Amino acid sequence: MNWKEENNALRYTFTFGDFITAWAFMTEVAIVSEKMNHHPTWSNTYNKVHISLSTHDAGNVVTDKDHKLASKIRALYSKYT
Does residue 81 surpass a pLDDT of 90? Answer: no
Class in CATH terms, 4-78: alpha beta
Nearest C-alpha neighbor of 62 from the set 76, 72, 52, 71 = 52
Give the span between the Cα atoms of 29 and 78, in whole angstroms: 13
What is the reported pTM? 0.93
Q: Is the pLDDT of residue 75 over 90?
A: yes
For the cut 80, the answer to whether the pLDDT of residue 39 exceeds it is yes
The H-assigned helical ranges of 4-80 are: 19-36, 64-78
